[in-house]
Amino acid sequence: MIGPTFALFIRSLREDTRAKFTPIGRASLVLVVLFFIAIQQRSFARQPAPGLQVFFTVMMVNLFGLVLGGITAFCSAITEEKEDDTLGLLRMTNLSPLAILFGKGISRLVSGVLLIVSQLPFTMLCVTLGGVSAATIWKGYEVLLCTLFFLCCLGLLTSVIAKRTGVAVAITVFVGAVLYVGVPIIYMTNFARNPWSGAPTQSPVQEALGWVMANNPLYQLTMLTQGGGRGFLPTAGSPWLFHGVAGVVCFLLAWALFGRFCSGTAETAPKKKSAKPGSKSLRIPRPGSRPLVWKDFWFLIGGRRGLISRFIGYGVLTFGIIAWAIAENSYMESKVVGEMMVVFAGFGLGVELVIGSASIFGLERKGLTLSSLLTLPVPLGRIVRHKILGVLGSFIPGLCFVGLGMAMTPESVVSFFDDVTRRDADTAVFIYMLLHLIAVPLLTCWLSLKMRRGAVAAAIAIGVIWNVLLGVMADIAERDAFVGLIIFASVALVAISIIFFAAIARGIPRAGAVE
């Protein structure tokens, strides 16, 4: 029983140990910790607790990377087998559902644990810097490990239930948003009338919501940096009490539902939707003179239905913003609503940009159709241009809502650009942020040629680490050197963009040849 159960688990650990990216990832995280310490060395004499500042920065970077990478890795544990039509082959072997869950999911949990624990000896250097104790560091890593365990089990559950990785990721993100974002908002807006009074909650609903919020990893790490104070919430106790129990429940549900949702490979085949005779709503037009543009528009972003669903999504977001403004102020102020529409719609456009960049050639690689695409009697440059044109349609709803938000608050737009053009520092920062619209998509597209899954998470993690390091350097830099630092970072982004552009041009034929 023990041998077959852990056979796939042991094999997955061996493959992960021998992979070339595993030591690179661990070494990169260790270098990030050491870099934080090195660049803040000059400000140690001016800060009351430099070790605490380094520890908090390391914890926040780890938490963000853990959530982003964990969701991508765990939610694809079983769905990748469904998408590749190999789940049936696993079921034909002597492997039980428990063995498959251990081999595909718990092995990734062990890799994540090793990735986090590898930083612990170097994070202990914060004790010698002052402001933080060893017990606080142990507590911080305990919070990270508990969160990782819960995300692993939740991702396994959604991966078992869902047919596609995207659906599993969406369910996991929704559950995480409810627990870690929705519950704090509900608690703060409805129950915490006097937040800092420390008065205990009364009703069972208040106690339950307060306990869930107190076990929020972001809240717990913040309390650690503030001396472990209770704030206005009940004592959370051990983080394993919430995340551990919830994780075990999710794993047991995944085990119990495995036979029902993973009994074969029939669920991976897309079902054809029947249309009534004469119905024009489901009719797809003929490709025309640009078949690649047609293909990506109709089958990558969903065609007219995809555009309508995006308009509905942005419309629901706008309605939520208006409802929030009315609930908070008892009236709707167009300036506030317009500014929030620009911010949230701009964020949605950024997400669309990154996902679209990963999907241009990433889906071709997953479907093993990149080699067939390259055999077409069409130059590579034209293929790339047409595929980009096919994805550009997904930005239309977001741009419409950004334009609507700007029309609702024209004075804020004029004031923003006036401030940007007035000072050199603001101009440099604005240009630096605009260059991300080129560098990040190129990075994501290049990663999608190197990685079959997780290109979006890896690109976002790299971008966040880059900007965190730049922010720390800018914080300790002199005022005169700040503009020079931003200009240097902008030039670096331009150089990086050129390098990735050339790497993509060389990587597309190589990725097609590998197939």
Instruction: Answer whether 154's CB lies under 8 Å from 172's CB.
Output: yes
**CB contact at 8 A, 442 and 356:** no
Report the percentage of the chain scoring pLDDT > 90. Answer: 9
> Do 60 and 147 contact (CB within 8 A), yes or no?
no
- Rounded Cα–Cα distance for residues 247 and 503 (Å): 41
Q: Please report how many Cα atoms fall inside a 13 Å half-sphere around the Cα of residue 4, on the Cβ side.
A: 9
Give the integer Cα–Cα distance in Å for 265 and 78: 12
C-alpha 229 chain-centroid distance? 30
How far apart CA 247 and CA 87 sit, in angstroms, is 24
- Dihedral of the alpha carbons of 114, 262, 302, 295, in degrees to the nearest 10: 90
- Mean pLDDT, all residues of the chain: 79
- Angle 194-197-203 (CA atoms, 0-180°, nearest 5)? 65
> Which segments of 104-164 does DSSP mark as H helices, in order?
107-117, 120-123, 125-129, 134-161
List the structure tokens of 256. Answer: 């119990």
d(CA 76, CA 305): 26
pTM for this model (two decimals):
0.72
Say how far apart CA 44 and CA 39 lie, in whole Å: 10
pLDDT tens, position by position, 185-244? 777 766 554 444 444 445 676 777 777 777 888 888 888 877 544 444 444 456 778 888
pLDDT, tens digit (0-9, with 9 covering 90-100), for 302-341: 888 888 888 888 888 777 777 766 766 655 667 777 888 8
Q: How far is CA 416 from CA 339, 347, 419, in A?
A: 11, 18, 5
Q: What pLDDT is stored for residue 178 in this prediction? A: 83
Task: Locate 189 and state its tokens.
Answer: 């807006």
